[in-house]
Amino acid sequence: MNFDYSETHKMVAASAKEFAEQYIRPHVMDWDESQEFPIGVFKKAGEMGFMGVLVPEIYGGSGLGYHEYIAIIEEIAKVDPSIGLSVAAHNSLCTNHILSFGNEEQKQRWIPKLATAEWLGAWGLTEHNTGSDAGGMNATAVKDGDDWVINGTKNFITHGKSGDIAVVIVRTGEKGDSHGMTAFAIEKGTPGFSSGKKENKLGMRASETAELVFDNCRIPDTNRLGAVGDGFIQSMKILDGGRISIGALSLGIAKGAYEAALKYSKERVQFGKPISEFQGISFKLADMATQIEAAELLLHKAAYEKNAGRKMTKLSAMSKMYASEICVQIANEAVQIHGGYGYTKDFPVEKFYRDAKLCTIGEGTTEIQKLVIARNILK
């Protein structure tokens, strides 16, 4: 196996790093404090090709693979994980769902706008009472002539207010039936489609999270993605790739927190020497560095399989689970290494600490990842 990054990979990573330093870092704490969702920075990301990373060039995308995608999310997350989260959700959920399961007319209609960030995308599976139990959803779509009438709500949706288009999975059959759900694309401004409450969150505060509300929302059958009843199956396939993106987000957080802790440990002097020279601190740094290497290898193995078009459900679950868990541990240790200063907003680690926790919850909790892994190894 070749562990060298390609020249394209290196160039893309450098471009993403420069973008994050120039357009994100100066505003990180302002956006976090105010919970501002900075749409302008995503428009700029679209100009750079970061909002259509996996989209073929014929649809206005960058035509890159999952190794480069990981690099982009990672570099942005090292500066501000909340921006990395929004870039990841736009790429791997909404855009990728239409790209993977839309027909040619749907792709031509929506993908170029998403790939350039002319439009921002949302993706709705979760509801108030159905988190991990997506099959128990209450939102429904009922066929009425050539139209569908949708009623219900979706919860914890990234870009729930600002998204220009949402891919939503709603029930068209019996509750609990894995073939009883269907995916639809719904444009902002459609009568009966609105946004509800925006969440006030612990972390990832510059990434907008809100409700989607459907009140007799009527859409044509031409907005249906794939066959009736295939929505849940499609979603599970989309989440396989989405878990790589959350793993990349986790890796960026872990690296950002580790690099901050390493720098601080070399500068902070106690008892006449840098604290990095004390075994208690150096062993923490050794553990952190090793965990990052392991997470990175696992993620790129999953990316390799995804690029090759092979089934990688188990690997994507493993990489997401491991990377998200170690990023929480590393952020915690980074705060500990900083001591009292780590608890203040003058240093970046307190934000990594707050942002990290979402990674063990979003796009499938750690417990769900273990369930997916167990089912695959026990087949």
User: Which amino acids are annotated catalytic?
Assistant: 363
Angle at 374 between CA 373 and CA 379, to 5 degrees: 105
Q: How many CB atoms lie within 10 A of CB 95?
A: 29
Cβ density class 96-134: b for 16+ within 10 Å, e for less:
bbbbebbeeebbebbbbbbbbbebbbbbbbbbeebbeeb
188 φ, ψ to 5°? Answer: -60, 140
Give the residue among 180, 170, 178, 177 at the shortest CA–CA distance from 223: 170
Distance, in Å, from the CA atom of 245 to the CA atom of 69, rounded to the nearest integer, reads 8
Yes or no: say if 241 and 64 are a contact pair by the CB < 8 Å rule: no
**The token pair that represents 217 in the structure block:** 């929302």
